[in-house]
Amino acid sequence: MAILQYLEFFVIIPCIIYLFYLTSRIKKKSWQPTNWPVVGMLPALLQNMYHIHDYATQVLRECGGTYEIKGPWRATLSVLNHAKFYSFLESTLWHKVETGLLPVLDYFFKQGIDFDLQDVFQRFTFDSICQVVLDYDPSSLCIDLPYIPCEKAFNDVVEALLHRHIVPECIWKLQKLLKIGNEKKLIEAWKAFDEFIYPLVDSSNRGELKNDFNLLRAFTKAIEGKTIVSSGGLRDLLRDTSMSLMFAGRDTTSTCLTWLFWLIAVNPWAEIKILEEIETKLLLKEEKKWRYFNAQECSKLIYLHAALCESLRLFPPGAFEYKAPIQPDILPSGHHLHESTKVIVSVYSVGRMETVWGNDCLEFKPERWISPHGRGITHEPSYKFPAFNVGPRTCLGKEMAFIQMKNVAATIIYHYTVQIVKGHPVSPRDSIVLQAKHGLRVRLLMV
Ligand code: HEM
């Protein structure tokens, strides 16, 4: 009896799996993952994890846009909504360009050394969002580029969260218990966040913040006297709220800016058009001097806006969106959804589908966004352009994000030509935020 059990375990089961593998290979030379007994599609997902976004695009192309994955998936990530902080973010932005971005770029230019532009953008957005949310500027964007654990912890978190979506829940939970792999990184990242945020939350609670308005104070006021449903009480709630807003505001805009500068570096004609627009619309040709511009003037920069939309179409910072039906439903493709089904929308793939964006979908063409008379941006429905999400949970920071990105991009393009360092590898990182995997090493030249 025991021999039979061993035979079954070591010979029969592997043979069945191997036969299954062979038949599936013969039947289809396809990108679609094999649905294995027991482990479902997990092996294909793990095997393709190193290029998960392009892999998802190939599979979706092959099967007409919707594909059912058999395996354990779960949703995560939530951000909170607060309207007031947009105006405060704007004034913070001018200050950061003047005291952080320009001096740092000027230093790299004068030294003639190359540097990671993605890192500069991440520091810029980190400082700005900390100022707005926590009334504290950590000054991570300065010539020394200091190591700030909380700022770097963001990168570890976005990578580890993708891992949680791909490996079975029992595996990452075991890793968490044993404090190993990506889960170890997450534990360390949370420690860094706590050490950074809690002291600021405490000084806010003691009324020690400098400015009249900051998001932490506004949020505390808004919930004063209300019953708080939170396992950790008010202090934890404020920590979580701050964290969510920092996530929403830091990685999205820095990622979009990174890809914009890569796209215009490989399409230099676009940079010339953007520069021409900046000089004409902001009247810089006459003044021959850089000056800051407000949100209203920002709206005149249509070609730059279109270039940013192209960057978001081809490299949406949130490459995946997770949805769950509130009741059983049927997708237009005929797939049946149960209450427990998780739907993953590959936002990255939507932007690269011929059926959605036409045969030139892989080309960088800001022109596709410009209305026939060149006066504005054409409206694309959010289900065609889901970079800011679709439906009621759409991004609340969209307008603010464009103001921020236009200011940063215009400041750089007006002063410098950005050249990618020869041979620097550029590909998307495997994380829930589509950063550039190896950063973006650049050198600045005079315009
Ligand atoms: C290029 C820049 C940005 C992109 C592509 C973007 C994208 C998104 C997406 C996809 C969501 C939905 C997330 C989900 O529920 O699954 C979202 C929500 C949100 N975003 Fe943005 N975002 C950007 C910039 C910003 C900025 C600068 C802020 C301001 C700090 C911001 C604040 C928010 C907030 C508060 C929500 C939550 C909305 C809600 O749940 O009702 N976003 N964003």
pLDDT in tens, 32-49: 777 665 556 766 766 776
Rounded distance between C-alpha atoms, residue 147 and residue 335, angstroms: 48
Q: Which helix (H) or strand (E) holds 176?
A: helix 169-178
Mean pLDDT, residues 143-170 taken together: 84
For residue 5, pLDDT over 60 is answered with no
Residue 232 scores a pLDDT above 60 = no
Domains and CATH numbers, the chain: 51-63+76-446 (1.10.630.10)
Tell me how far the alpha carbon of residue 413 lies from the centroid of ligand 1, in angstroms. Answer: 26
Instruction: Find the helix or strand (DSSP H, E) in which 336 lies.
Output: strand 336-337
Q: Name which of 283, 28, 74 is nearest 168 in CA terms.
A: 74
> How crowded is residue 191: how many other Cβ atoms within 10 Å of its Cβ?
13
Q: Please count the CA atoms within 13 angstroms of the CA of 364 that sit on its side-chain side.
A: 20
Residue 133 CA, ligand 1 centroid: distance in Å = 15
Atom of ligand 1 nearest to the CA of 78: 15
Q: How far apart are CA 239 and CA 80, in angstroms?
A: 12
Whether 397 lines ligand 1, by a CB cut-off of 6 Å, is yes
Give me the mean pLDDT over the 116-120 stretch. 97
The answer to whether 147 and 226 have CB atoms below 8 angstroms apart is no
Residue with CA closest to ligand 1 atom 42: 397
* Among 118-127, 150-159, 271-280, the least confident range: 150-159
For residue 336, name the pLDDT band (cuts at 50, 70, 90): very high
Nearest CA to ligand 1 atom 11: 395
Q: Say if residues 129 and 250 touch (Cβ distance below 8 Å).
A: yes
pLDDT at res. 214: 67
Joined tokens for residue 141: 């964007």
| pLDDT of amino acid 108 | 97
Q: Write down the mean pLDDT value for the chain.
A: 82
Res 9 pLDDT > 70: no
pLDDT confidence bin for 225, thresholds 50/70/90:
low
In short, whether 248's Cβ falls inside 6 Å of ligand 1 is yes
Determine the 3-state secondary structure of 339 from DSSP: coil
Q: Which of 226, 225, 200 is nearest to 215 (CA)?
A: 200
